[in-house]
Structure 1
Amino acid sequence: MVVQDSVDATSDSQVGVPLEPFLHQVGGHLSVMTYDEHTVCKPLISREHRFYESLPMAMKHFTPQYKGTMSVHLRRDSRGHLSLVAHPLQEDREPFQAPPESAATAARHEYHKTSGSAWPLVQQPYSPAKSLARFHRDAQTSLLAEDANRNHAERRSCNPWGLHCHQAYLTRLCSEYPEKKWHPGFLLLENVVSRHTHPCILDLKMGTRQHGDDASEEKKARHTKKCAQSTSARLGVRICGMQVYQTAGKYYLCKDKYDGRKLSVEGFRQTLHQFLHDGTRLRTELLGPMLSQLQALLAVIRSQTSYRFYSSSLLLIYDGQQLPERTSGGWPALEASQET
């Protein structure tokens, strides 16, 4: 639902926070955007929203910190380029209604308290190190690299998947909603890679079944087919995105969800090896800490009695620039999805 109050475009530069594609999005189909250095913003999905609002304390170590909800509006500049702008809360604005897909759980028109303190109402606009124009240019430039096992992956200075999702989302939003109208329903989450210089990320889609009980027959058939044709059916997991920093060449090897769907079981194993290889050596020192974290996460999930997980993503993250003697290991994060 669109709240019918107009946005004063003249105030954008004063209090608006322009949202840019998240430079390190490796998977998913909705756009993840940068709100500030430590916070990302993504479209609200009702089940994901409920998950973060009722998250058991034991699972908080393995999930991004939930920072509340917000709203944005579309803006078109003098050259016709579309962008999304977030604004702080204003007391005189009409309370937002939840979008149609989340009617059961209305998105709150407030910033929720996290860790005992309120999310700030006003922030200075955040400008990432790379401008959006630089992102466009880098994302379109790629070379095909081949590892020792003759597996191919794209070699890029910037992961292109975030730009792909962002452009598709802007196009859809523009066709569904008018400009200069507030669009409710965006989640604010911790940027879990903000502490890394060159984050290496593996996005794993978990489970042999990836549809909820209330999915339509068409959706059930579509998801079942994807599982049957990928490693999901045999291994209970498939790769939905990856980026690995190559220290010698100073670039990222990137794979997207379409690469992951084509992998055989052996190809999956080789890609795991590739994820832990920096182009010079295998980061074996990461294996122990990663396995320890995964075992701890498994124990927490097994202890839950009120959650069933469908189509959830498991993110494995480490810093590709970190010196071996200072490495503390990867940090797996469980990312809730629409089917959680």
Structure 2
Amino acid sequence: MNDCECNQQPYIQLSPYFHQVGGHSSMFQYGKDTVCKVLESSELEFYESMPDSLKKFTPEFRGIVTVQYCEDELGFIKLVAQPETTCNDDDHSSNEEEMKITTDQESTDHNSKKSVQLRCSEDGRVDYSNNLGTDAVNYEQGKIIMSKINPWGLQLCKKQAEKLHRQLLGDENVTISQKYILLENVTAQFRYPCILDLKMGRRQHADIDSDKKRQSKIQKCESSTSSTLGVRLCGMQVYQVDSGRYIFTDKYRGRILTIDGFRSTLVEFFNNGRITRLDVLPAIIERLESLYETINFLSTYRFYSGSLLIVYDGLLQSNLIDIRMIDFAHSVHATPATDEISAANNHAGPDKGYLFGLERLIDVFKEILNEEKKLIPTVNLAN
């Protein structure tokens, strides 16, 4: 057991972030409108130097926290954060009250979620101490499932806890802590966030990647829609109005989708089990076109391995949408005076791979909108 050093204030207990559909490192809920993820110096540098024109298309950067890993005498795991810089979220103190899960359909996905607790057993295994339902617990990668709780984000939280627990072995009195960056929770404004996480661009490897990692990323691009469309699926959740649950799809399924399969999946993204949400498509297309124009004016920027979040509200009475770029750990901004590596890799002009992906994505959305409209029965007003 190691005790959290909670004598100083303020400390905020983190909870799993329930709407992380992609990525490889876990994110946590810091407060009502703020999430946090492990700090990577390259991503922090990008957020701190981001051009103003991109800020409306990215989550707001809200500072840095130190997160401490703790286990009590019963094995229950806590992650507590101590702010280092000011956070814009004034409601973080009520975090525990907001993270409650109930079986009531109306509140399943809003701000009343019961904390999902992790617990370390005597043999060192970390698992959930709550009854999450068989769908989330028995989740298999690459499979489409329906559940009230996103299994991907929970799986990443569990892996992160297991990694930190191993650092305690042999010295239970050691303090385990990490730096995290605070970011705007893009999904906070939605009652039932339907989320599409897309890996953008034809190239995913960074200039500084090892040969092994470079070859792995090249192979993933060549064998997926990244090479043909400049975009591939990394994760998705779609709210189903009749069941009050979400359909979840992960990046492993995204890697094996054909062009037709990718297009069909985008159609599924707008299907809530009752209707196809054509009402949100025009606004999504318009915002994607605006993003295209913004990136087209950004010379020497490359957003390698970056993702794009497309979100709309599963609440039928809402036509709210949002689109944000995320994941900038491998982004590059070449400057003529200082960046010889980037200059050698021909980083002049805008990121054509990212723009290519946006073009194809816009085209597919327009096709879906036009074709789905044709399927809507017309009303004979003369009768």
Query: TM-score when scaled to structure 1?
Result: 0.81
Q: Is residue 319 of structure 2 the alignment partner of residue 327 of structure 1?
A: yes
Q: Residue 111 of structure 1: which of 77, 80, 85 is its match?
A: 85
Displacement of 1:183 in angstroms is 2.5
The corresponding residue for 2:131 is 137
SS of 2:131's equivalent in the other structure is helix
Deviations 1:67-114 (A, max 9, x none): 0111011100221132211124xxxxxxxxxxxxxxxxxxxxx415xx
In structure 1, distance between residues paired with 2:213 and 2:57: 29
Question: Quick one: which amino acid aligns to residue 198 of structure 1?
Answer: Y
Displacement of 1:337 in angstroms is 3.0
User: What does residue range 91-240 of structure 1 map to in structure 2 within 5 Å?
Assistant: 110-111=84-85, 119=88, 124=93, 126-127=95-96, 128=99, 129-133=113-117, 136-138=130-132, 140-141=134-135, 153-176=144-167, 181=175, 183-240=177-234
The corresponding residue for 1:30 is 25
Could you tell which deviates more after superposition, 245-254 or 173-182? Answer: 173-182
The corresponding residue for 1:61 is 56
Deviations 1:236-260 (A, max 9, x none): 1110000000001111000011111
User: What does residue range 312-323 of structure 1 map to in structure 2 within 5 Å?
Assistant: 312-323=306-317
The structure with the largest alpha-carbon Rg is 2
In structure 1, distance between residues paired with 2:258 and 2:162: 34
Q: Is residue 46 of structure 2 the alignment partner of residue 51 of structure 1?
A: yes
The corresponding residue for 1:254 is 248
Structure 1 segments, 4+ long, off by >6 Å, are: none
Displacement of 1:184 in angstroms is 3.9
In structure 2, distance between residues paired with 1:320 and 1:180: 45
Q: Is contact 1:7-1:180 (8 Å) kept? A: no
Cα 1:135–1:301 shift into 2, 3 Å:
farther
SS of 2:308's equivalent in the other structure is strand
Query: TM-score when scaled to structure 2?
Result: 0.72
- Percent sequence identity is 37
In structure 1, distance between residues paired with 2:3 and 2:329: 30
Question: Quick one: which amino acid aligns to residue 225 of structure 1?
Answer: Q
In structure 2, distance between residues paired with 1:297 and 1:275: 21
The unaligned stretches of length 5 or more in structure 1 are 1-5, 89-109, 113-117, 145-151
In structure 2, distance between residues paired with 1:319 and 1:122: 22
The unaligned stretches of length 5 or more in structure 2 are 100-112, 118-127, 332-383
SS of 2:93's equivalent in the other structure is coil
In angstroms, what is the RMSD of aligned CA positions? 2.6
In structure 2, distance between residues paired with 1:314 and 1:135: 33
Cα 1:154–1:43 shift into 2, 3 Å:
same
Cα 1:220–1:245 shift into 2, 3 Å:
same
Paired residue total: 299
In structure 1, distance between residues paired with 2:315 and 2:129: 21
